[in-house]
Amino acid sequence: MLAAFSITPIGTGESVGDLVAETVRIVRASGLPNETNAMFTNLEGEWDEIMTVIKACVDAIAQAAPRVSVVVKLDHRPAEPSGRIHRKVESIEQKLLDDD
C-alpha cells in the first residue's frame, strides 16, 4: 500500500517546522520506504504498518498542539510487489525522457 499523508498542528503559532520535523523522524525511524516533499510524506508498507506510523505521528503532535489536522490518501493494491513508491515516479520520468 502507498500512503500520502500530511499532519498539521493547529494552535501552536505560525511556525510548525519543528513539529513537522518530529513526525518525519518518526516516519524515518519506522524503517518503511518513505519520502517527504513540500506538502506530504509518502510511505509504503502494509495497512497496519502505515496506520501505526500515522497514529504515532498524530500522537506526537497532539502532545504539543491542542488540535491536529490529518489528510491521508491511500493507494491499496495488495497484489502489487513492494517498491512502488519509487517505481511510479521512475515510470513517469521515463515517459518524459521518451517524449524528448
Q: Could you read off the pLDDT of 61-88 as tens digits, one per residue?
A: 999 999 999 999 999 988 888 888 888 8
Task: Sketch out the chain's domains with CATH numbers.
Answer: 2-99 (3.30.70.930)
Strand 67-75: give its sheet, edge to edge.
34-36, 41-44, 2-10, 67-75
pLDDT at 57: 97
- Per residue in 1-50, pLDDT tens? 999 999 999 998 888 889 999 999 999 999 999 999 999 999 999 999 99
Q: Is the pLDDT of residue 94 over 80?
A: yes
Rounded Cα gap, residues 48 and 54, in angstroms: 10
Phi-psi region of 11 (alpha: psi -120 to 50; beta: other; left: phi over 0): left
Q: Which helix (H) or strand (E) holds 9?
A: strand 2-10
Q: Could you tell me what percent of the chain has a pLDDT over 90?
A: 70
